[in-house]
Amino acid sequence: MALPVEQGRVAEDGAERFLVDQGLRVIERNFRRRFGEIDLIAMEDDVLVFVEVRKRSHQAFADGAESITRRKRQRLLRTAEAYLQQRRWRGPVRFDVIVMDARDRIEWLQDAIQADW
């Protein structure tokens, strides 16, 4: 059985391929700050898309977006703010979640996390 870190990398690889197939351009992976990490950052036309990748150990997608706790959401938003400030991005932003089940089927939840800024 693969270690969680390896499973996460494989899930991110699959999510990246999926997004590229959907016409997005992935511009960064694993953007880290001391308070959090964003798995994938992509462009869809003029929209900057932050993507959280979730790998489910069972076959059902079962609440992929709901699996993101309030604390995780706060960390994602804080990390995204750091990215936006560092890159001086002023355009539109969206937060998506990609959920992969045990058979590597993908569910893409667009605009799944709402920012209050």
pTM of this prediction?
0.90
Distance CA 102, CA 117 (A): 35
Considering the domain 4-109 in this protein, what is its CATH number? 3.40.1350.10
Domain parsing of the chain, residue ranges: 4-109
pLDDT in tens, 18-68: 999 999 999 999 999 999 999 999 999 999 999 999 987 765 545 566 778
Distance CA 1, CA 114 (A): 35
Distance CA 105, CA 17 (A): 13
pLDDT in tens, 65-92: 677 889 999 999 999 999 999 999 999 9
Nearest Cα residue to 100 out of 8, 20, 36:
8
